[in-house]
Amino acid sequence: MMTIRPYQDKDLARLREICLETSSFKKNDEKTTAFLYLMFCDYYALCEPESVFVAADETDTAQGYILCAKDFQTYRRRFRRFFQPECDKLGPYFFGIVRGEMFVHGLYARRYPTHLHIDLSEAARHQGVGTRLMDALKAHLREQGCPGVMLSCGAKNENAVRFYLRNGFTIRQKVAGSCLMTCDL
């Protein structure tokens, strides 16, 4: 049985592994790996660890996680200052992804200031762990007074889209192969 608990510093390496395991990007490319860590893992664990939850197995090893930036404006300011320069060094492809994500999320940030990422290892899937992680984060965000949350996923990732729809999200926009979804809290 997986336990949902707050993030601990010891979890970072495992969160990075899960991030790579679940990514649709190439895994053998050093630049891609660096980008995935910067864009989808490290900011949250290092800058907003209080908003990161993990699904831990019986050995207390993370098998999944959900993480978020509670306020898009704060996230954008910090990311631009500390993480974006590192992403930009990786090349124009990654430069474009960062700016595209910032632009699209910025369109919805007033109503949905929080954005999240969730990933599960193979061992944590099909057990309700994703829903339990989502419930933990939503409860945390409600306590913080957050009005809504957004995310983006691959538009062709039908399993992910169905999961988010079951968990209260609505599709707002599909652009460049990505599906932006929102949820009122």
Boundaries of every domain in the chain: 3-184
Contact 148, 183 (CB under 8 A): yes
DSSP 25: S
Q: Dump pLDDT digits (tens) for 105-125.
A: 999 999 999 999 999 999 999
User: pLDDT tens per residue, the chain (185 residues)?
Assistant: 899 999 999 999 999 999 999 998 866 789 999 999 999 999 999 999 999 999 999 999 999 999 999 999 999 999 999 999 999 999 998 988 899 889 989 999 999 999 999 999 999 999 999 999 999 999 999 999 999 999 999 899 999 999 999 999 999 999 878 899 999 99
Taking the C-alpha atoms of residue 77 and residue 21, their distance in angstroms, rounded to an integer, is 29
CA distance 20 to 119: 10
Cα end-to-end distance, the chain, whole Å: 28
Instruction: Please give the model's pTM, rounded to 2 decimal places.
Output: 0.94
Reported as half-sphere exposure (CB side, CA atoms, 13 A), residue 135 has a value of: 10
Q: Which two tokens stand for residue 176?
A: 């460049």
Superfamily of domain 3-184, CATH level 4: Gcn5-related N-acetyltransferase (GNAT) (3.40.630.30)
| Exposed e or buried b per residue across 86-110, where buried means at least 16 C-beta atoms within 10 angstroms of its C-beta | ebeebeeebeebbeebbebbeebbe
Kindly report, residue by residue over 160-171, the tens digit of the pLDDT.
999 999 999 999
Amino acid, res. 78: R
